[in-house]
Amino acid sequence: MKICRYDNDRLGLVLGDEARDVTAALAVLPSVSWPVPLGDLMIANLGAIMTAVEKLISEAPVKEISDVQLRSPVANPSKIIGAPINYQTHIDESIIDDGIVSQRKISHISDWGLFLKANTSLVGPGDGVAVQFIEARNDHEVELAVVIGKACTHVSGENALDYVAGYAIGLDMTTRGKELQSFRKSSDSYAVIGPWLVTADEINDPNNLDLRISVNGEVRQDSNTRDLVYDVGRLIEYASERYTLLPGDIIMTGTPDGVGPVEPGDVMTAEIENIGVMEVAVRAA
Ligand code: MN
């Protein structure tokens, strides 16, 4: 299933170029009160949501996808995890272009670890990206985004995909500079997830998906997740050694070569095989 969130928190089932309004499925969610549980309530109850969606499909109002504003399909992750230097081609370009790493010594993801992006940076493609600090480089990084479905800790790489709810396209927007990643990559709107969540059953092998991004029609990044240094299973293993992973947590798996700057007025078109395509407009903050 492809599940989207659109307009004012409508829930949609994506079929071709259309979204069926299945917002009524949210009635299956348990009511919560303070302190609300960490994590995303919809993703935590995705099985019940999907059952409810099935019953609603035939009567659901239809919208053209092009007529709706797509939001992040995950509303309330407890954390957004980023993977640095996780494609060799991106490591190679970073060695040549110091504008990417600002004199930081490049080694291996096993040395650098992971980083967190602020939850307030999260938007969907319909929200667009508002670039800040335009005197610095603000780069696109297209990435496969993994959405965790079940709480887990100390997961082994072999079993890791059992804990995945689904996949989406991620843009790990980045202001270059000497500050730490969690600071530079956490401006409002610098984490784009979309265009929808594709449930894990629809992705045979997340470690063999073409991904690309173009800016104003010019292809900038064009690769395949088979070139990940730490693949999806290893990333979940690595993250869950440190963090308890909760339903709705997002892992941005890293970016291949071809990162580059965007400016207000640009339009980014990002695509991942078996997930879809999303257009993201860039504006000034
Ligand atoms: Mn990245």
Per-residue pLDDT tens digits for 90-136: 999 999 998 998 888 889 999 999 999 999 999 999 999 999 999 99
C-alpha of residue 59 to centroid of ligand 1, in Å: 41
Task: Write the single-letter amino acid at 161.
Answer: L
In angstroms, what is the span from residue 40 Cα to ligand 1's centroid? 22
Neighbours of 278 (CB within 10 A): 23
Cβ contact 168:275 at 8 Å = yes
Span from the CA of 193 to the centroid of ligand 1 (angstroms): 13
Q: How far is the CA of 185 from the centre of ligand 1 (A)?
A: 9
Task: State the pairing for strand pair 191-199/2-6.
Answer: antiparallel
CA-CA distance, 268 to 219, in Å (whole number)? 10
DSSP 245: B
CA of 11 to the centre of ligand 1 (A): 28
Q: What is the pLDDT of residue 259?
A: 97
d(CA 13, CA 128): 22
How high is the pLDDT of residue 241? 98
CA angle, 105 as apex, 178 and 209 as ends, to 5°? 90
pTM of the model: 0.98
**Shared domain check, 17 and 154:** no
Q: What is the pLDDT of residue 93?
A: 93
Q: Which residue stretches of the chain have pLDDT < 70?
A: none
Partners of residue 81 on adjacent β-strands: 116, 251
What's the pLDDT score for residue 238? 98
Q: Coil, strand or helix: which one is 195?
A: strand
CA proximity to 273, closest of 219, 190, 205? 205
Domain final residue, candidates 41, 71, 101: 71
Looking at the structure, do residues 188 and 265 belong to the same domain, yes or no?
Answer: yes
Which of the listed residues 52, 71, 90 is the one where a domain comes to its end? Answer: 71
CA 153 to centroid of ligand 1, rounded, Å: 23
Q: Coil, helix or strand for 143?
A: strand
56 and 141 fall within a common domain: no
What pLDDT does 101 receive? Answer: 87
State which residues form the domain around 114: 80-284
Give the distance (Å) from ligand 1 centre to CA of residue 171: 8
The confidence score (pLDDT) of residue 163 equals 98
Domain shared by 166 and 90, yes or no = yes
Cα R_g (the chain), whole angstroms? 18
Domain count along the chain = 2
In the prediction, which pLDDT does 28 show? Answer: 98
Same domain, 61 and 93: no
* Centroid of ligand 1 to alpha carbon of 84 (angstroms): 6
Task: State in Å: Cα 50 to ligand 1 middle.
Answer: 31
Together in a domain, 23 and 158:
no
CATH number at residue 197: 3.90.850.10
Ligand 1: centre distance to CA 108 (Å): 14
152 alpha carbon to ligand 1 midpoint, in Å? Answer: 23
What is residue 194's predicted lDDT score, i.e. its pLDDT? 98
**Rounded Cα gap, residues 135 and 263, in angstroms:** 11
- Residue 253: the pLDDT is 98
Q: Which residues pair with 2 in a beta bridge?
A: 198
Instruction: Say yes or no: 108 and 202 in one domain.
Output: yes
CA distances from 157 to 42, 110, 144, 239, 255 (A): 25, 15, 17, 11, 20
